[in-house]
Structure 1
Amino acid sequence: MRYAESRQLRRETRPVTRNRQPLTIVRHAASPPFKYETRPRVVVELAQKHLFVILGNYRITMENYYKGKNIEEELERSKIPIQGLPENFLWMQVKGGSKMNNLLSHSSGILQDKAARAVVWTGAGVAISKAISCAEILKRQFSIEHQITQICYKKVEEFWEPKIDGLETIVVKRQIPVIHIFLSLDPISGDNQLGYQTLKSSRFWENSQSNSFSNKQQSQQKFKKPFKYKTKSSEIKT
């Protein structure tokens, strides 16, 4: 192809820029409260063509609301759902930003000084895994035999305030899981409650094995084949 022909072809295929109307972008309306659109579409309208452009991995949040205050239910020593707690025990409340070295050094120092003989580790939400790790490390460090684990929930209210007049305040109520791990160097009075375990006894595993054996027996009895009467060939008369 000659240079002149290629130049002429470029001119013919080049998009026309004369008499072009202004570009308009139309967005979708804001999504309803607390429902997100994961792949919103942006519609671009031109004079001659309609071009659809998809923006991926992007969210439209509530445009008419802003985040307000949070009200969380406070944890108290008297509301810990564990029976047989002593009067003098160390209560370690683990937060999401707490450092494990600081928590373990404080709790181990109190146990070494014999200021307390029992520790309760409490963690909520994101801090649950950190509370479990601290309890396991301390239990193996001091060979703590008695442990009780309980799980409960606490209420949290989130307030969303409107930016436009005429809209009401939105209150979102959530329940966040909370774990309490009680470790004691001394024997516990309420050792019959759920969540109790020791290092020496194998009562939990014995109960689980007996339950699994009984379940197997029940399943075998359920799925027995029905009895079928078999006739002998000699009894059949031709």
Structure 2
Amino acid sequence: MDRYQRVEKPKSKDESESNGRKENEIRITTQGRIRNYTTYASSLLQDKGSDEIVLTAMGRAINKGVMIAELIKRRVVSLHQNTSITSADITDMWEPLEEGLLPVETTRHVSMITIILSKKELDSTSKGYQPPTPADQVKALNEFEYEGEGLPSKRGKGRSGRGWGRTRAGRGRGRARGHQRNRNLKPEAPVQAAAA
């Protein structure tokens, strides 16, 4: 696909109306910051008086969507959760960059998650229902700290991003378990073929 560029597919009137975003719907993307999503969702539930919010995420953003839902449930007391997983077919249009080539359409099958967080009780017989988090596990907004956006840091402490981690023998530079070099072994002598 080096000789093609992806172009925005023109949307029909029905598609543009169905994709209209409601105020309480939050679409999570891979580029968005976790802090921004959780702060906005908490303000909708606490300050703006919304009874329910809807989080939607597709593809690689699904993990982030689940993490954001869990963070919100630990900020706002008595939130019921209902989760549904679906999939969607997305068609991409590709225009040629060189003359003589025809436009191409490709279709991707993408997983999608929808998480509803509500102050009101939801259908508890639904497969994706989760009851509210106990009140003693819910903390106020200002008690949360963000360490690298809630994700493990990719860089260690030390120079040039290489960290001083723990090995089985204690502190020090080392390799992960199972990948350590065994320097105490002597090379085996070559096996001589027995002349018969």
Aligned to 1:108: 42
Partner of 1:39: none
User: Which residue does the alignment assign to 2:127?
Assistant: 194
**1:69 pairs with 2:2:** no
Q: Could you say which structure has the greater relative contact order, defined with CA pairs below 8 angstroms and 6 or more residues apart?
A: 2
Distance 1:200 1:68 in 2: 44
CA contact (8 A) 1:144 1:183 kept: no
**Alignment match, 1:218:** none
SS in 1 for 2:127: coil
| 1:121 and 1:180 in contact (8 A); partners too | yes
> How far off its partner does 1:147 sit?
0.9
Where in structure 2 are the equivalents of 1:128-167 lying within 5 Å? 128-162=62-96, 163-165=98-100, 167=101
Q: CA RMSD in A?
A: 3.1
**Are 2:114 and 1:180 equivalent residues in the alignment?**
yes
Q: Is residue 145–residue 199 contact of structure 1 (8 Å, CA) maintained in 2?
A: yes
How many residues were matched structurally? 129
Change in Cα spacing, 1:155 to 1:70, as seen in structure 2 (3 Å) is farther
CA contact (8 A) 1:89 1:118 kept: no
Superposed CA deviations along residues 164-213 of structure 1, whole A, max 9, x for unmatched, are 42x4322111121111011111212x332221121479xxxxxxxxxxxx
Larger fraction in helix: 1
Give % identity. Answer: 27
Deviation at 1:160, TM superposition (A): 2.9
Distance between the aligned counterparts of 2:92 and 2:19, measured in 1?
25
- Residue type of the partner of 1:192? T
SS in 2 for 1:93: strand
Q: CA 1:102/1:66 → structure 2, altered by over 3 Å: closer, same or farther?
A: same
TM-score, length-scaled by structure 1: 0.46
The amino acid across from 2:38 in the alignment is: L
- Report the structure number with the largest CA radius of gyration: 1
Q: Output the CA distance in 1 between the equivalents of 2:68 and 2:16.
A: 22
Q: Which amino acid aligns with 1:176?
A: V
- Unpaired segments of 5 or more residues in structure 2? 135-196
CA distance in 1, matches of 2:80, 2:130: 6
> Could you tell me whether the CA contact under 8 Å between 1:89 and 1:117 is conserved in 2?
no
Please give the alpha-carbon distance, in whole angstroms, between the structure 2 residues aligned to 1:151 and 1:75. 22
Distance 2:131 2:107 in 1: 37
Secondary structure of 2:56's counterpart equals strand
Aligned counterpart for 1:123 among listed residues 57, 74, 78: 57
